[in-house]
Structure 1
Amino acid sequence: MMLLLMVVIMSACGQEQTTGAGSEPSPSSESGGAEKKVIVLGTSADYAPYEFHKSINGKDTIVGFDIEIAKAIAADMGAELKIEDMDFDGLLMALSTDKVDFVISGLTPTEERKKNVDFTDIYYYAEQAVLVRADEGESIASLDNLSGKQVGVQKSSIQEGIAQDIQGAKLTSLAKIPELILELQTGRVDALILEKPVAQQYVKNQEGLVVANVKIDQAEDEGGSAIAVKKGNQDLVDQINSTLEKLKTSGDIDRFVIEANEMLGE
Protein backbone atom coordinates (compact mmCIF):
# COMPACT_ATOMS: atom_id res chain seq x y z
CA MET A 1 0.00 0.00 0.00
CA MET A 2 1.49 3.30 -1.06
CA LEU A 3 2.18 5.73 1.73
CA LEU A 4 0.46 8.98 0.83
CA LEU A 5 0.70 11.85 3.23
CA MET A 6 -2.20 14.29 3.32
CA VAL A 7 -1.23 17.88 3.93
CA VAL A 8 -3.93 20.27 5.16
CA ILE A 9 -3.32 23.79 3.97
CA MET A 10 -5.19 26.21 6.20
CA SER A 11 -5.99 29.56 4.64
CA ALA A 12 -6.18 31.18 8.08
CA CYS A 13 -2.45 30.59 8.53
CA GLY A 14 -1.69 32.49 5.33
CA GLN A 15 1.25 30.17 4.54
CA GLU A 16 2.09 28.10 1.48
CA GLN A 17 3.82 24.75 1.92
CA THR A 18 6.44 23.85 -0.64
CA THR A 19 9.04 21.12 -0.97
CA GLY A 20 12.66 20.90 -2.00
CA ALA A 21 11.38 19.87 -5.41
CA GLY A 22 9.71 23.24 -5.81
CA SER A 23 6.17 21.95 -6.37
CA GLU A 24 3.24 24.31 -5.76
CA PRO A 25 0.73 23.76 -2.93
CA SER A 26 -2.91 23.19 -3.78
CA PRO A 27 -5.29 26.14 -3.38
CA SER A 28 -7.38 26.38 -0.21
CA SER A 29 -10.98 25.23 -0.36
CA GLU A 30 -13.98 27.38 0.48
CA SER A 31 -14.21 25.70 3.87
CA GLY A 32 -10.76 27.00 4.79
CA GLY A 33 -8.62 23.99 3.96
CA ALA A 34 -7.65 21.81 1.00
CA GLU A 35 -6.09 18.39 0.92
CA LYS A 36 -3.10 17.68 -1.29
CA LYS A 37 -1.36 14.37 -1.82
CA VAL A 38 2.34 14.22 -1.08
CA ILE A 39 4.51 11.47 -2.55
CA VAL A 40 7.82 10.85 -0.80
CA LEU A 41 11.00 10.12 -2.75
CA GLY A 42 13.92 8.33 -1.15
CA THR A 43 17.34 9.08 -2.64
CA SER A 44 21.03 9.34 -1.77
CA ALA A 45 22.01 12.74 -3.14
CA ASP A 46 25.74 12.11 -3.51
CA TYR A 47 25.72 10.57 -6.98
CA ALA A 48 26.10 13.27 -9.62
CA PRO A 49 24.73 13.64 -12.24
CA TYR A 50 21.89 11.41 -10.99
CA GLU A 51 21.23 13.31 -7.75
CA PHE A 52 23.42 15.81 -5.90
CA HIS A 53 23.37 18.94 -3.76
CA LYS A 54 23.77 22.36 -5.36
CA SER A 55 23.41 25.87 -4.00
CA ILE A 56 20.70 27.67 -5.98
CA ASN A 57 20.04 31.30 -5.06
CA GLY A 58 21.86 30.66 -1.81
CA LYS A 59 19.73 27.63 -0.89
CA ASP A 60 20.99 24.05 -0.70
CA THR A 61 18.91 22.14 -3.25
CA ILE A 62 18.87 18.51 -4.36
CA VAL A 63 19.08 18.39 -8.15
CA GLY A 64 19.98 15.91 -10.90
CA PHE A 65 18.29 14.01 -13.68
CA ASP A 66 16.76 11.47 -11.28
CA ILE A 67 15.15 14.37 -9.43
CA GLU A 68 13.65 15.74 -12.65
CA ILE A 69 12.16 12.31 -13.32
CA ALA A 70 10.71 12.27 -9.80
CA LYS A 71 9.16 15.70 -10.35
CA ALA A 72 7.50 14.46 -13.55
CA ILE A 73 6.12 11.41 -11.72
CA ALA A 74 4.66 13.59 -8.97
CA ALA A 75 3.18 16.02 -11.50
CA ASP A 76 1.45 13.21 -13.39
CA MET A 77 -0.04 12.00 -10.10
CA GLY A 78 -1.19 15.48 -9.11
CA ALA A 79 0.94 15.19 -5.99
CA GLU A 80 3.50 17.31 -4.18
CA LEU A 81 7.01 15.81 -4.14
CA LYS A 82 8.88 15.50 -0.86
CA ILE A 83 12.53 14.38 -0.97
CA GLU A 84 14.16 12.32 1.78
CA ASP A 85 17.96 12.24 1.45
CA MET A 86 19.64 9.28 3.17
CA ASP A 87 22.52 6.82 2.89
CA PHE A 88 22.28 4.54 -0.14
CA ASP A 89 22.34 1.35 1.92
CA GLY A 90 19.24 2.46 3.86
CA LEU A 91 17.01 3.26 0.89
CA LEU A 92 15.29 -0.09 0.38
CA MET A 93 14.67 -0.52 4.10
CA ALA A 94 13.04 2.92 4.14
CA LEU A 95 10.83 1.78 1.27
CA SER A 96 9.86 -1.49 2.98
CA THR A 97 8.99 0.33 6.22
CA ASP A 98 6.81 2.97 4.51
CA LYS A 99 9.15 5.87 5.20
CA VAL A 100 9.22 6.65 1.47
CA ASP A 101 6.91 5.83 -1.45
CA PHE A 102 9.51 5.24 -4.14
CA VAL A 103 13.28 5.21 -4.56
CA ILE A 104 15.23 6.79 -7.41
CA SER A 105 18.97 6.69 -6.88
CA GLY A 106 20.74 5.16 -9.88
CA LEU A 107 19.39 1.84 -8.62
CA THR A 108 19.96 -1.37 -10.59
CA PRO A 109 17.11 -3.93 -10.42
CA THR A 110 19.11 -7.03 -9.46
CA GLU A 111 17.45 -10.36 -8.77
CA GLU A 112 18.47 -10.09 -5.12
CA ARG A 113 16.79 -6.69 -4.76
CA LYS A 114 13.68 -7.94 -6.54
CA LYS A 115 13.10 -10.34 -3.66
CA ASN A 116 12.30 -7.38 -1.42
CA VAL A 117 10.96 -4.60 -3.66
CA ASP A 118 9.32 -4.17 -7.06
CA PHE A 119 10.90 -2.26 -9.93
CA THR A 120 9.71 -0.21 -12.86
CA ASP A 121 11.07 -0.47 -16.37
CA ILE A 122 14.71 0.53 -16.92
CA TYR A 123 14.96 4.26 -17.58
CA TYR A 124 18.74 4.72 -18.06
CA TYR A 125 21.76 2.59 -18.95
CA ALA A 126 25.35 3.34 -17.94
CA GLU A 127 28.65 1.45 -18.08
CA GLN A 128 30.81 0.83 -15.03
CA ALA A 129 34.27 2.41 -14.73
CA VAL A 130 37.42 2.32 -12.62
CA LEU A 131 38.50 5.69 -11.22
CA VAL A 132 42.15 6.05 -10.18
CA ARG A 133 44.74 8.72 -9.43
CA ALA A 134 46.32 10.07 -12.60
CA ASP A 135 49.73 8.56 -11.84
CA GLU A 136 48.14 5.09 -11.70
CA GLY A 137 46.07 5.36 -14.87
CA GLU A 138 48.34 3.41 -17.19
CA SER A 139 49.01 0.62 -14.69
CA ILE A 140 45.34 -0.40 -14.48
CA ALA A 141 44.31 -2.03 -17.75
CA SER A 142 41.96 -4.72 -16.45
CA LEU A 143 40.13 -5.70 -13.29
CA ASP A 144 42.86 -8.31 -12.72
CA ASN A 145 45.28 -5.42 -12.11
CA LEU A 146 43.26 -4.57 -8.99
CA SER A 147 44.29 -7.82 -7.31
CA GLY A 148 46.12 -7.00 -4.09
CA LYS A 149 44.91 -3.39 -4.21
CA GLN A 150 42.48 -1.52 -1.99
CA VAL A 151 39.29 -0.92 -3.99
CA GLY A 152 36.64 1.55 -2.85
CA VAL A 153 32.93 1.06 -3.54
CA GLN A 154 29.61 2.38 -2.28
CA LYS A 155 28.06 0.13 0.35
CA SER A 156 25.27 -2.19 -0.90
CA SER A 157 25.85 -1.11 -4.51
CA ILE A 158 26.26 -3.09 -7.73
CA GLN A 159 29.88 -1.94 -7.72
CA GLU A 160 30.43 -3.63 -4.37
CA GLY A 161 29.39 -6.92 -5.95
CA ILE A 162 31.74 -6.37 -8.89
CA ALA A 163 34.66 -5.68 -6.55
CA GLN A 164 33.90 -8.75 -4.45
CA ASP A 165 34.44 -10.87 -7.56
CA ILE A 166 37.97 -9.52 -8.14
CA GLN A 167 40.34 -12.15 -6.83
CA GLY A 168 42.76 -10.73 -4.27
CA ALA A 169 41.18 -7.27 -4.12
CA LYS A 170 40.71 -5.67 -0.70
CA LEU A 171 37.46 -3.75 -0.29
CA THR A 172 36.63 -0.44 1.33
CA SER A 173 32.84 -0.02 1.39
CA LEU A 174 31.51 3.39 2.45
CA ALA A 175 28.05 4.96 2.42
CA LYS A 176 28.85 8.16 0.50
CA ILE A 177 30.67 8.73 -2.79
CA PRO A 178 32.46 11.92 -1.63
CA GLU A 179 33.97 9.90 1.23
CA LEU A 180 35.31 7.41 -1.31
CA ILE A 181 36.76 10.19 -3.46
CA LEU A 182 38.64 11.51 -0.42
CA GLU A 183 39.95 8.00 0.30
CA LEU A 184 41.26 7.81 -3.27
CA GLN A 185 42.81 11.27 -3.26
CA THR A 186 44.62 10.64 0.03
CA GLY A 187 45.94 7.24 -1.04
CA ARG A 188 43.93 5.15 1.39
CA VAL A 189 42.39 3.29 -1.55
CA ASP A 190 43.96 2.59 -4.94
CA ALA A 191 40.87 2.65 -7.14
CA LEU A 192 37.12 3.17 -7.10
CA ILE A 193 34.48 1.36 -9.12
CA LEU A 194 31.66 3.74 -10.11
CA GLU A 195 29.14 4.18 -12.88
CA LYS A 196 30.94 5.84 -15.78
CA PRO A 197 28.90 9.10 -15.83
CA VAL A 198 29.66 9.59 -12.14
CA ALA A 199 33.36 8.83 -12.57
CA GLN A 200 33.59 11.22 -15.52
CA GLN A 201 32.11 14.05 -13.49
CA TYR A 202 34.74 13.63 -10.80
CA VAL A 203 37.49 13.64 -13.43
CA LYS A 204 36.05 16.88 -14.80
CA ASN A 205 35.76 18.57 -11.42
CA GLN A 206 38.65 17.12 -9.40
CA GLU A 207 42.30 17.43 -10.43
CA GLY A 208 44.52 14.37 -10.45
CA LEU A 209 41.90 11.72 -11.24
CA VAL A 210 41.41 9.68 -14.42
CA VAL A 211 39.14 6.91 -15.66
CA ALA A 212 41.27 3.83 -16.31
CA ASN A 213 41.00 2.08 -19.66
CA VAL A 214 39.21 -0.94 -18.20
CA LYS A 215 36.28 -2.79 -19.74
CA ILE A 216 33.88 -4.15 -17.12
CA ASP A 217 31.56 -6.84 -18.43
CA GLN A 218 28.18 -6.86 -16.75
CA ALA A 219 25.57 -9.54 -16.24
CA GLU A 220 22.10 -8.78 -17.56
CA ASP A 221 20.86 -7.79 -14.09
CA GLU A 222 23.83 -5.50 -13.47
CA GLY A 223 22.99 -2.90 -16.10
CA GLY A 224 20.51 -0.07 -16.12
CA SER A 225 18.70 1.99 -13.53
CA ALA A 226 15.09 1.52 -12.47
CA ILE A 227 12.76 2.93 -9.83
CA ALA A 228 11.92 0.87 -6.74
CA VAL A 229 8.54 0.73 -5.04
CA LYS A 230 7.21 -1.34 -2.15
CA LYS A 231 6.64 -5.01 -2.92
CA GLY A 232 3.16 -5.66 -4.28
CA ASN A 233 2.31 -2.08 -5.26
CA GLN A 234 1.68 -2.78 -8.93
CA ASP A 235 -0.60 0.25 -9.33
CA LEU A 236 2.28 2.58 -8.51
CA VAL A 237 4.64 0.63 -10.78
CA ASP A 238 2.16 1.06 -13.64
CA GLN A 239 1.71 4.78 -12.97
CA ILE A 240 5.45 5.39 -12.91
CA ASN A 241 6.03 3.28 -16.04
CA SER A 242 3.47 5.42 -17.85
CA THR A 243 5.42 8.56 -16.95
CA LEU A 244 8.75 6.95 -17.88
CA GLU A 245 7.45 5.92 -21.29
CA LYS A 246 6.27 9.46 -21.93
CA LEU A 247 9.65 10.90 -20.87
CA LYS A 248 11.55 8.45 -23.08
CA THR A 249 9.36 9.07 -26.12
CA SER A 250 9.60 12.85 -25.78
CA GLY A 251 13.38 12.78 -25.29
CA ASP A 252 13.01 14.45 -21.91
CA ILE A 253 15.20 11.93 -20.07
CA ASP A 254 18.08 12.67 -22.46
CA ARG A 255 17.46 16.37 -21.87
CA PHE A 256 17.46 15.88 -18.10
CA VAL A 257 20.84 14.11 -18.32
CA ILE A 258 22.36 16.92 -20.39
CA GLU A 259 20.99 19.62 -18.08
CA ALA A 260 22.25 17.82 -14.96
CA ASN A 261 25.74 17.62 -16.43
CA GLU A 262 25.60 21.30 -17.35
CA MET A 263 24.63 22.19 -13.77
CA LEU A 264 27.72 20.40 -12.50
CA GLY A 265 29.88 22.64 -14.65
CA GLU A 266 28.31 25.89 -13.42
Structure 2
Amino acid sequence: MRIFLIFLVGTIVLVLLGGIIYFVSSGSSFNFFKKTNVSISDNSFTTVIPGKLIVLTNTPFEPMEYLDEKGNLVGFDIDLINTIGKKLGLEVTIEQKDWDLMFELVKEHKVDLAISGITATQERGKDFNFSIPYLNSGQVVIVESTNPKTILNSSDLEAKKILVQKNTTGAIVAKEAKGNVVELDEIGESAIQELVSHNADAIVIDYVVGAKFVKDHKEIKLVGSQLTDEYYGILFPLSEKRLVSAVDRVIREMKENGELDAIKKLWIE
Protein backbone atom coordinates (compact mmCIF):
# COMPACT_ATOMS: atom_id res chain seq x y z
CA MET A 1 0.00 0.00 0.00
CA ARG A 2 2.82 2.41 0.90
CA ILE A 3 4.54 1.73 -2.42
CA PHE A 4 1.24 2.31 -4.24
CA LEU A 5 0.68 5.63 -2.44
CA ILE A 6 4.21 6.77 -3.24
CA PHE A 7 3.65 5.84 -6.88
CA LEU A 8 0.28 7.63 -6.94
CA VAL A 9 1.68 10.81 -5.38
CA GLY A 10 4.63 10.75 -7.76
CA THR A 11 2.31 10.38 -10.74
CA ILE A 12 0.17 13.33 -9.62
CA VAL A 13 3.26 15.51 -9.16
CA LEU A 14 4.53 14.63 -12.64
CA VAL A 15 1.15 15.40 -14.21
CA LEU A 16 0.93 18.76 -12.44
CA LEU A 17 4.52 19.61 -13.36
CA GLY A 18 3.89 18.68 -16.97
CA GLY A 19 0.83 20.90 -17.04
CA ILE A 20 2.79 23.83 -15.65
CA ILE A 21 5.58 23.33 -18.19
CA TYR A 22 3.04 23.13 -21.02
CA PHE A 23 1.27 26.29 -19.84
CA VAL A 24 4.50 28.27 -19.64
CA SER A 25 5.93 27.03 -22.93
CA SER A 26 2.73 27.39 -24.92
CA GLY A 27 1.69 30.79 -23.58
CA SER A 28 1.96 33.90 -25.73
CA SER A 29 4.30 36.66 -24.62
CA PHE A 30 1.15 38.77 -24.41
CA ASN A 31 -0.67 36.63 -21.85
CA PHE A 32 0.60 38.80 -19.00
CA PHE A 33 -1.59 41.73 -20.01
CA LYS A 34 -4.30 40.07 -22.10
CA LYS A 35 -7.10 40.12 -19.55
CA THR A 36 -10.18 39.49 -21.63
CA ASN A 37 -11.71 36.01 -21.51
CA VAL A 38 -14.66 36.85 -23.75
CA SER A 39 -15.15 34.52 -26.69
CA ILE A 40 -14.04 36.12 -29.95
CA SER A 41 -17.34 34.98 -31.47
CA ASP A 42 -19.25 37.27 -29.08
CA ASN A 43 -20.35 40.36 -31.04
CA SER A 44 -22.05 42.12 -28.13
CA PHE A 45 -20.08 45.17 -27.09
CA THR A 46 -20.78 48.75 -26.13
CA THR A 47 -18.94 52.00 -26.79
CA VAL A 48 -18.86 55.31 -24.91
CA ILE A 49 -21.22 56.79 -27.50
CA PRO A 50 -23.45 54.15 -29.14
CA GLY A 51 -22.63 53.69 -32.81
CA LYS A 52 -19.37 55.62 -32.53
CA LEU A 53 -15.77 54.66 -31.77
CA ILE A 54 -13.99 57.46 -29.91
CA VAL A 55 -10.25 57.12 -30.52
CA LEU A 56 -7.27 59.06 -29.17
CA THR A 57 -3.85 59.41 -30.77
CA ASN A 58 -0.72 61.49 -30.30
CA THR A 59 1.14 63.17 -33.15
CA PRO A 60 3.57 63.41 -34.77
CA PHE A 61 4.94 59.89 -35.01
CA GLU A 62 5.54 59.35 -38.71
CA PRO A 63 4.62 57.00 -40.35
CA MET A 64 2.16 55.83 -37.68
CA GLU A 65 0.20 59.08 -37.21
CA TYR A 66 0.96 62.60 -38.37
CA LEU A 67 -0.52 65.57 -40.24
CA ASP A 68 0.16 65.72 -43.97
CA GLU A 69 0.76 68.90 -45.99
CA LYS A 70 -2.97 69.61 -46.07
CA GLY A 71 -3.40 69.13 -42.34
CA ASN A 72 -5.10 65.75 -42.66
CA LEU A 73 -4.43 63.12 -40.01
CA VAL A 74 -2.83 60.17 -41.80
CA GLY A 75 -0.64 57.14 -41.14
CA PHE A 76 -0.54 53.41 -40.47
CA ASP A 77 -2.52 53.59 -37.22
CA ILE A 78 -5.11 55.89 -38.78
CA ASP A 79 -5.79 53.50 -41.67
CA LEU A 80 -5.87 50.55 -39.28
CA ILE A 81 -8.37 51.97 -36.81
CA ASN A 82 -10.61 53.34 -39.57
CA THR A 83 -10.70 49.87 -41.14
CA ILE A 84 -11.46 48.25 -37.77
CA GLY A 85 -14.25 50.74 -37.10
CA LYS A 86 -15.80 50.13 -40.51
CA LYS A 87 -15.73 46.36 -40.03
CA LEU A 88 -17.42 46.76 -36.64
CA GLY A 89 -20.07 49.07 -38.11
CA LEU A 90 -18.92 52.07 -36.07
CA GLU A 91 -18.35 55.71 -37.00
CA VAL A 92 -14.75 56.51 -36.06
CA THR A 93 -13.86 59.82 -34.41
CA ILE A 94 -10.14 60.42 -33.84
CA GLU A 95 -8.90 63.11 -31.45
CA GLN A 96 -5.29 64.22 -30.95
CA LYS A 97 -4.17 64.51 -27.34
CA ASP A 98 -1.02 65.01 -25.31
CA TRP A 99 0.72 61.66 -24.67
CA ASP A 100 0.11 61.55 -20.91
CA LEU A 101 -3.45 62.89 -21.18
CA MET A 102 -4.22 60.21 -23.76
CA PHE A 103 -3.41 57.48 -21.25
CA GLU A 104 -5.35 59.24 -18.50
CA LEU A 105 -8.53 59.55 -20.57
CA VAL A 106 -8.39 55.90 -21.63
CA LYS A 107 -7.80 54.81 -18.04
CA GLU A 108 -10.86 56.77 -16.91
CA HIS A 109 -12.89 55.18 -19.75
CA LYS A 110 -13.87 58.59 -21.12
CA VAL A 111 -12.99 57.31 -24.60
CA ASP A 112 -13.05 53.86 -26.17
CA LEU A 113 -9.38 53.34 -26.98
CA ALA A 114 -6.07 54.85 -28.05
CA ILE A 115 -3.84 53.91 -30.96
CA SER A 116 -0.51 55.70 -31.29
CA GLY A 117 2.37 53.30 -31.78
CA ILE A 118 1.93 52.23 -28.16
CA THR A 119 4.28 49.47 -27.05
CA ALA A 120 2.45 46.85 -25.01
CA THR A 121 4.45 46.26 -21.83
CA GLN A 122 3.92 44.32 -18.65
CA GLU A 123 3.95 47.54 -16.63
CA ARG A 124 1.22 49.13 -18.76
CA GLY A 125 -0.73 45.90 -18.56
CA LYS A 126 -1.32 46.56 -14.86
CA ASP A 127 -3.53 49.55 -15.67
CA PHE A 128 -4.79 48.88 -19.19
CA ASN A 129 -6.05 46.18 -21.48
CA PHE A 130 -4.46 45.68 -24.90
CA SER A 131 -5.51 44.22 -28.20
CA ILE A 132 -3.45 41.44 -29.69
CA PRO A 133 -0.29 42.89 -31.27
CA TYR A 134 -0.59 44.32 -34.75
CA LEU A 135 3.04 45.29 -35.41
CA ASN A 136 6.50 44.41 -34.09
CA SER A 137 8.63 47.56 -34.06
CA GLY A 138 11.81 46.42 -32.37
CA GLN A 139 15.18 48.09 -32.81
CA VAL A 140 16.93 47.79 -36.19
CA VAL A 141 20.29 48.76 -37.66
CA ILE A 142 20.58 51.15 -40.62
CA VAL A 143 23.81 51.53 -42.59
CA GLU A 144 24.94 53.28 -45.76
CA SER A 145 23.95 51.23 -48.81
CA THR A 146 27.46 50.01 -49.64
CA ASN A 147 27.91 49.04 -45.95
CA PRO A 148 31.70 49.67 -46.00
CA LYS A 149 32.19 48.34 -42.45
CA THR A 150 30.25 45.13 -43.26
CA ILE A 151 27.85 45.51 -40.35
CA LEU A 152 25.44 42.59 -40.46
CA ASN A 153 24.17 42.19 -36.90
CA SER A 154 24.50 43.54 -33.35
CA SER A 155 27.85 41.81 -32.77
CA ASP A 156 29.35 43.94 -35.54
CA LEU A 157 28.46 47.19 -33.73
CA GLU A 158 31.29 46.97 -31.20
CA ALA A 159 33.57 50.02 -31.40
CA LYS A 160 31.55 51.40 -34.33
CA LYS A 161 30.20 54.95 -34.30
CA ILE A 162 26.47 54.53 -33.75
CA LEU A 163 23.87 57.30 -33.86
CA VAL A 164 20.83 56.94 -31.58
CA GLN A 165 18.13 59.13 -30.10
CA LYS A 166 18.78 59.81 -26.43
CA ASN A 167 16.67 58.10 -23.77
CA THR A 168 15.41 55.39 -26.13
CA THR A 169 15.60 51.62 -26.36
CA GLY A 170 17.94 52.14 -29.31
CA ALA A 171 20.43 53.91 -27.06
CA ILE A 172 20.33 51.04 -24.58
CA VAL A 173 20.81 48.41 -27.29
CA ALA A 174 23.74 50.29 -28.87
CA LYS A 175 25.49 50.65 -25.51
CA GLU A 176 24.99 46.97 -24.74
CA ALA A 177 26.64 46.21 -28.09
CA LYS A 178 29.67 48.23 -26.87
CA GLY A 179 29.41 50.71 -29.70
CA ASN A 180 30.83 54.22 -29.76
CA VAL A 181 27.41 55.72 -29.11
CA VAL A 182 26.46 59.27 -30.08
CA GLU A 183 23.13 60.32 -28.54
CA LEU A 184 21.12 62.91 -30.46
CA ASP A 185 17.95 64.83 -29.61
CA GLU A 186 16.34 63.27 -32.67
CA ILE A 187 17.20 61.03 -35.59
CA GLY A 188 16.35 62.85 -38.79
CA GLU A 189 17.83 64.06 -42.06
CA SER A 190 21.06 65.28 -40.47
CA ALA A 191 21.73 61.85 -38.96
CA ILE A 192 21.10 60.19 -42.32
CA GLN A 193 23.57 62.54 -43.98
CA GLU A 194 26.18 61.67 -41.34
CA LEU A 195 25.71 58.04 -42.31
CA VAL A 196 25.84 58.67 -46.06
CA SER A 197 28.97 60.82 -45.64
CA HIS A 198 30.64 57.98 -43.68
CA ASN A 199 30.89 60.19 -40.58
CA ALA A 200 28.97 57.49 -38.72
CA ASP A 201 28.82 53.74 -39.16
CA ALA A 202 25.24 52.92 -38.20
CA ILE A 203 21.95 54.15 -36.78
CA VAL A 204 19.94 52.08 -34.28
CA ILE A 205 16.27 53.03 -34.28
CA ASP A 206 12.68 51.72 -34.08
CA TYR A 207 11.74 49.54 -37.05
CA VAL A 208 8.77 51.64 -38.20
CA VAL A 209 10.82 54.83 -38.30
CA GLY A 210 13.89 53.15 -39.77
CA ALA A 211 11.92 51.38 -42.49
CA LYS A 212 10.31 54.68 -43.50
CA PHE A 213 13.75 56.31 -43.70
CA VAL A 214 14.99 53.50 -45.93
CA LYS A 215 11.89 53.73 -48.10
CA ASP A 216 12.53 57.45 -48.66
CA HIS A 217 16.35 57.28 -48.97
CA LYS A 218 17.84 54.79 -51.41
CA GLU A 219 21.36 55.51 -50.15
CA ILE A 220 20.73 53.68 -46.85
CA LYS A 221 19.47 50.20 -45.98
CA LEU A 222 18.43 47.93 -43.12
CA VAL A 223 20.74 45.05 -42.17
CA GLY A 224 20.21 41.95 -40.09
CA SER A 225 17.08 41.16 -38.11
CA GLN A 226 15.38 43.18 -35.39
CA LEU A 227 17.50 43.42 -32.26
CA THR A 228 14.49 43.53 -29.93
CA ASP A 229 10.79 42.68 -29.95
CA GLU A 230 8.57 45.67 -29.18
CA TYR A 231 4.95 44.98 -30.02
CA TYR A 232 2.38 47.67 -30.71
CA GLY A 233 -1.12 47.11 -29.37
CA ILE A 234 -4.33 49.13 -29.19
CA LEU A 235 -4.88 50.54 -25.69
CA PHE A 236 -8.17 50.01 -23.82
CA PRO A 237 -9.46 50.65 -20.29
CA LEU A 238 -8.55 47.80 -17.97
CA SER A 239 -12.20 46.85 -17.46
CA GLU A 240 -12.99 46.68 -21.19
CA LYS A 241 -13.38 43.13 -22.49
CA ARG A 242 -16.02 42.75 -25.17
CA LEU A 243 -14.81 45.59 -27.39
CA VAL A 244 -11.25 44.25 -27.07
CA SER A 245 -12.49 40.84 -28.17
CA ALA A 246 -14.26 42.34 -31.20
CA VAL A 247 -11.18 44.35 -32.20
CA ASP A 248 -8.96 41.28 -31.76
CA ARG A 249 -11.20 39.35 -34.11
CA VAL A 250 -10.89 42.04 -36.78
CA ILE A 251 -7.09 42.23 -36.42
CA ARG A 252 -6.83 38.45 -36.84
CA GLU A 253 -9.04 38.67 -39.91
CA MET A 254 -6.87 41.45 -41.38
CA LYS A 255 -3.73 39.41 -40.75
CA GLU A 256 -5.22 36.39 -42.48
CA ASN A 257 -6.65 38.17 -45.54
CA GLY A 258 -3.60 40.38 -46.16
CA GLU A 259 -5.22 43.73 -45.32
CA LEU A 260 -2.77 44.41 -42.50
CA ASP A 261 0.20 43.66 -44.75
CA ALA A 262 -1.24 46.04 -47.36
CA ILE A 263 -1.36 48.89 -44.83
CA LYS A 264 2.18 48.05 -43.72
CA LYS A 265 3.42 48.11 -47.32
CA LEU A 266 1.72 51.45 -47.95
CA TRP A 267 3.16 53.28 -44.95
CA ILE A 268 6.34 51.49 -43.92
CA GLU A 269 7.91 49.15 -46.46
Q: Distance in 2 between matches of 1:114 and 1:171?
A: 32
What CA distance in whole angstroms lies between the structure 2 residues aligned with 1:245 and 1:171? 40
Provide closer, same or farther for how the CA distance between residues 96 and 189 of structure 1 changes in structure 2, counting only shifts above 3 A.
farther
Once the two structures are superposed, what CA deviation does each residue of 1:111-148 show, in whole Å capped at 9, x if it has no partner?
23323422111223456421234576535333244445
| C-alpha distance in structure 1 between counterparts of 2:128 and 2:172, whole Å | 19
Asked if structure 2 preserves the Cα contact closer than 8 Å seen for 1:41 and 1:70, the reply is no
Change over 3 Å in CA distance of 1:193–1:163 after alignment to 2: same
Preserved CA contact (<8 Å) 2:54 2:112: yes
The AA in structure 1 aligned to 2:265 is: I
Of 56, 62, 84, 1:41 maps to 56
**Residue 124 of structure 1 aligns with which residue?**
135
Name the TM-score, length of structure 2 as normaliser. Answer: 0.61
Q: Does 1:106 align with 2:111?
A: no
- Do 2:207 and 2:226's aligned partners in 1 also have CA atoms closer than 8 Å? no
Alpha-carbon distance change, 245 to 210 in structure 1, aligned in 2, over 3 angstroms:
closer
Q: Given the alignment of the two structures, is residue 240 of structure 1 paired with residue 247 of structure 2, yes or no?
A: yes
Give the partner amino acid of 1:84.
Answer: Q
Give the TM-score normalised by structure 1: 0.62
Distance in 1 (alpha carbons) for counterparts of 2:102 and 2:119: 13
Amino acid at match of 2:61: D
Structure 2 Cα separation of the partners of residues 94 and 153 of structure 1: 28
In the alignment, the residues of structure 1 paired with residue 220 and residue 146 of structure 2 have an alpha-carbon distance, to the nearest angstrom, of 8
Counterpart residue identity of residue 164, structure 2: G
- Give the Å deviation of 1:152: 1.2
Does structure 1 residue 152 correspond to structure 2 residue 159? Answer: no
* Structure-1 residue corresponding to 2:96: 84
Residues 188-203 of structure 1 aligned to structure 2 (within 5 Å): 191-196=202-207, 198-203=209-214
Aligned residue identity for 2:96:
E
Aligned partner of 1:259 among 259, 263, 266: 266
In the TM superposition, what is the alpha-carbon distance from 1:193 to its structure 2 partner?
2.3
The one-letter amino acid of 1:199's match is: G
Indicate the structure (1 or 2) with the bigger Cα radius of gyration. 2
Q: Secondary structure at the match of 1:46?
A: coil
- Give the aligned CA root-mean-square deviation in angstroms: 3.8
Are the counterparts in 2 of residues 131 and 192 from structure 1 also a CA contact under 8 Å? Answer: yes
CA contact (8 A) 1:121 1:226 kept: yes
> Would you say how many aligned residue pairs link Structure 1 and Structure 2?
218
Question: Per-residue displacement from partner, 1:69-92 (whole Å, max 9, x unpaired)?
Answer: 1112333252332131656x8764
Q: Where do 5+ consecutive residues of structure 1 fail to align? A: 7-34
Equivalent pair of 2:154/2:227 in contact (CA under 8 Å): no
Secondary structure in 1 matching 2:141: strand
How far apart are the structure 2 equivalents of 1:204 and 1:127?
Answer: 17
Is residue 166 from structure 1 mapped to residue 189 from structure 2 by the alignment?
no
- 2:257 is aligned to 250
Using the aligned pairs only, state the percent identity. 22
State the distance in 1 between where 2:101 and 2:178 align.
28
Partner SS for 1:138? coil
Contact 1:41 1:104 in 2 (8 A): yes
